[in-house]
């Protein structure tokens, strides 16, 4: 494959924002070779030196926040306030990972307390994995680029970073601040490309580990292609998140929280509420109030502060969501509002009521768009059964005024994270974020990503301590 220029167009209005030169599959061995050469020296650099580079990058990134926010909003369709928050989050990740990399690099094991070990000194180190490929998704590209790359680099790894093909410009500009902050040559390489390039890069024999946020199919394909290598795979593959709304819930509060989480990135967040399970006794009232709330959503130019909802990432995404909703209707769901496409990237909020418990969306059909499927149940047992039948168990939520009742249900949900009385789209950087089943493997978050992209080893020095006999 020959490298070629690709125009990047805004989903907001179709305007051309810039272009990138895609990396070539045939050049992958060269990228890996350069990375290996860089790693052979970078891995021996001092943790405090790596940390200082991250702190410098945080300052550079912060100085570009206004420019990056505007570009990110135009390129992704994300509303301006969310773009601002994402870039601020990336700055925080750089600063926090600098601290983690400096102070989590090693410790001393208590072997001196064991029989015949009293004279030993044993050091436990976190050591880098080597060449790490970081595959970045389109929905939170800047934050996740720094989530992965800053943890990898401060640990002594080198990074081959592949930005999302749909909206690479803001990510490239942001990550360049890290490269420009004193990283030695080829410690980080930015490699734009499409899906075929990504597959080839992740499968290259010289790569030591992969951290990928993407589709289930991408994760499965990667696992198959690298099985013989037993390569560490750090995978966040999406989710079919659920909210269980019990009969004693504050409906207005539930709707407020559900909208806040579901409409993040215009409905294209992995951890968003993609199934709403509602007790039958309140389902009519819930649906009516949800419909009313969505009628007040301001779907407008995402650069405007008053906008609540922007477009999907591209028209192809609209067509996919449109098709998924039509499929739910054929399976028995009742369309209450929305499901309109107009030949561009804009898609209005959509409600489907009375979704059958065996419908695709009720199980493993993940919808990346502002769609609210409502599944009615009569009992707690039914609600738990619906929640448990999915393989994409990333996050869940339970709403109830009875905390004991809510906790009993939460305790029976096998999900990566569960929120009581709040949106399940909950991801502060200090919690371990990751799924169960086909939702992925491994955990992201401050310290957790660092652990995933390092391994532990011990170095024991025998008989280094003096004998325990007292001095006379």
3-state secondary structure the chain: CCCCEEEEECCCCCCEEEEEECCCHHHHHHHHHHHHHHHHHHCCCCHHHHHHHHHHHHHHHHHCHHHHHHHHHHHHCCCHHHHHHHHHHHHHHHHHHHHHHHHCCEEEECHHHCCCCCCCEEEEEEEECCEEEEECCCCCHHHHHHHHHHHHHHCCCEEEEECCCCCCHHHHHHHHHHHCCCCCCCCEEECCCCHHHHHHHHHCCCCCEEEEECCHHHHHHHHHHCHHHCCCEEEECCCCEEEEECCCCCHHHHHHHHHHHHCHHHHCCCCCEEEEEEEHHHHHHHHHHHHHHHCCCCECCCCCCCCCECCCCCHHHHHHHHHHHHHHHHCCCEEEECCCECCCCCECCEEEECCCCCCHHHCCCCCCCCEEEEEEECCHHHHHHHHHCCCEECEEEEECCCHHHHHHHHHCCCCCEEEECCCCCCCCCCCCECCEECCEECCECCCHHHHHCEEEEEEEECCCCCCCCCCC
- The two beta strands, 131-135 and 209-213, are parallel
pLDDT value at residue 420 = 98
Helices 403-411 & 380-388 angle (0-180, nearest 10): 40
Q: Which of 460, 461, 457, 462 is nearest to 43 (CA)?
A: 457
Lowest mean pLDDT among 194-198, 254-258, 348-352, 410-414: 194-198
Mean of pLDDT values over 337-356:
96
pLDDT of 217 above 60: yes
Report how far residue 178's alpha carbon sits from residue 107's, in angstroms, rounded to the nearest whole number: 28
Confidence of residue 3 (pLDDT cuts 50, 70, 90): low
Confidence of residue 471 (pLDDT cuts 50, 70, 90): low
In this predicted structure, the answer to whether residue 399 has a pLDDT above a threshold of 90 is yes
Give ∠ CA 202-207-209 in degrees, rounded to 5: 80
Q: How far apart are CA 49 and CA 154, in angstroms?
A: 9
What's the number of CA atoms in the CB half-sphere (13 Å) around residue 365? 20
The answer to whether residues 462 and 119 touch, using CB atoms and an 8 Å cutoff, is yes
How far apart are the C-alpha atoms of 77 and 138, rounded to whole Å?
11
Question: Which residues share a beta bridge with 433?
Answer: 444
- Given a contact cutoff of 8 angstroms between Cβ atoms, the answer to whether 320 and 302 are in contact is no
- pLDDT value of residue 470: 64
Q: Count Cβ atoms within 10 A of the Cβ of residue 367 and give its class: 0-12 exposed, 13-18 middle, 19 or more buried.
A: buried
Q: What is the pLDDT of residue 466?
A: 80
pLDDT at 225: 86
Mean pLDDT across 34-60:
97
Is the pLDDT at 472 greater than 90? The verdict is no
pLDDT for residue 241 is more than 80? yes
Q: Which burial class, exposed, middle or buried, applies to 108 when counting CB atoms under 10 A from its CB (0-12, 13-18, 19+)?
A: exposed
What CA–CA distance (Å, rounded) separates 121 from 123?
7
Using pLDDT thresholds of 50, 70 and 90, give the confidence band for residue 1.
very low
- Report which of 206, 170, 216 is spatially closest to residue 190, judged by C-alpha positions: 170
Question: For the chain, what percent of residues have pLDDT higher than 90?
Answer: 89
For the segment 75-82, the average pLDDT, to the nearest whole number, is 98
C-alpha 70/C-alpha 80 separation (Å) is 7
Measured CA to CA, the distance from residue 366 to residue 435 in angstroms comes to 14
Higher-pLDDT residue of 37 and 468 is 37
Contact 58, 73 (CB under 8 A): no
- Is pLDDT of 394 > 50? yes
Q: Which of 108-122, 172-186, 315-329 has the lowest mean pLDDT?
A: 108-122
Q: Evaluate whether 156 touches 45 at the Cβ level (below 8 Å).
A: yes
Are 71 and 170 contacting, i.e. CB atoms less than 8 angstroms apart?
Answer: yes
In the structure, what pLDDT confidence band is assigned to residue 18 with cuts at 50, 70 and 90? very high
Q: According to the model, what pLDDT value does residue 113 have?
A: 85
pTM (two decimals):
0.94
Show the domains of the chain with their CATH numbers: 5-237+439-459 (3.40.605.10), 241-420 (3.40.309.10)
pLDDT band at 8 (very low <50, low <70, confident <90, very high): very high
Q: Which of 271, 262, 205, 203 is nearest to 236 (CA)?
A: 271
Kindly state the tokens that stand for 29.
């061995």
- Cβ atoms of 274 and 46 within 8 Å: the answer is no
| Average pLDDT of the residues of the chain | 95
Counting every residue written for the chain, the total comes to 472
Between these two residues, 3 and 440, which has the higher pLDDT value? 440
Per-residue pLDDT band at 246 (split at 50, 70, 90): very high
Cβ atoms within 10 Å, residue 59: 13
Question: Is it the case that residue 231 has pLDDT exceeding 50?
Answer: yes
């Amino acid at each position: 494959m020959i490298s070629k220029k690709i125009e990047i167009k805004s989903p907001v209005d179709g305007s051309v924002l810039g272009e990138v030169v895609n990396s070539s599959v045939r050049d992958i061995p060269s990228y890996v070779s350069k990375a290996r050469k860089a790693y052979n020296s970078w891995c021996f650099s001092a943790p405090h030196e790596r940390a200082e580079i991250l702190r410098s990058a945080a300052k550079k990134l912060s100085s570009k926040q206004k420019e990056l926010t505007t570009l990110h909003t135009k390129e992704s369709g994300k509303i301006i306030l969310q773009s601002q928050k994402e870039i601020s989050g990336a700055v925080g990740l750089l600063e926090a990972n600098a601290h983690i990399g400096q102070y989590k690099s090693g410790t001393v094991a208590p072997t001196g307390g064991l029989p015949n070990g009293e004279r030993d000194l044993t050091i436990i180190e976190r050591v880098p994995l080597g060449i790490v490929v970081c595959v970045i998704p389109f929905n939170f590209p800047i934050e996740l680029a720094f989530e992965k790359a800053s943890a990898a680099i401060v640990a002594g790894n080198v990074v081959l970073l592949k930005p999302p093909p749909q909206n690479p410009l803001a990510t490239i500009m942001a990550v360049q601040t890290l490269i420009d902050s004193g990283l030695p040559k080829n410690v980080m390489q930015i490699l734009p490309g499409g899906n075929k390039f990504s597959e080839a890069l992740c499968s290259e024999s010289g790569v030591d580990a992969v951290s990928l946020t993407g589709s289930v199919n991408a994760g499965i394909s990667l696992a198959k292609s690298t099985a013989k290598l037993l390569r560490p795979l750090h995978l966040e593959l999406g989710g079919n998140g659920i909210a269980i709304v019990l009969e004693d819930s504050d409906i207005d509060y539930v709707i407020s929280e559900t909208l806040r989480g579901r409409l993040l990135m215009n409905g294209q967040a992995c951890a968003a509420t993609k199934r709403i399970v509602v007790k039958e006794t309140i389902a009519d009232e819930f649906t009516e109030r949800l419909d009313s709330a969505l009628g007040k959503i301001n779907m407008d130019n995402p650069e405007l502060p008053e906008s609540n909802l922007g477009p999907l990432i591209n028209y192809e995404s609209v067509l996919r969501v449109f098709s998924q909703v039509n499929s739910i209707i054929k399976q028995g769901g009742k369309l209450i509002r929305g499901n309109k496409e107009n030949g561009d990237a804009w898609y209005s909020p959509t409600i489907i009521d009375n979704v059958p418990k065996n419908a695709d969306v009720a199980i493993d059909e993940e919808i990346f768009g502002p769609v609210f499927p409502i599944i009615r149940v009569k009992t707690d047992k039914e609600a738990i059964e619906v929640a448990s039948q999915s393989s994409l168990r990333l996050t869940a939520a339970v709403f109830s005024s009875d905390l004991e009742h809510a906790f009993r249900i939460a305790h029976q949900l096998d999900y990566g994270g569960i929120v009581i009385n709040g949106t399940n789209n909950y991801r502060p950087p200090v919690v371990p974020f990751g799924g169960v089943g086909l939702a992925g493997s491994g955990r992201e978050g401050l310290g957790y990503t660092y652990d995933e992209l390092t391994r532990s080893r011990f170095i024991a020095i025998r008989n280094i301590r003096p004998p325990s006999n007292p001095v006379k």
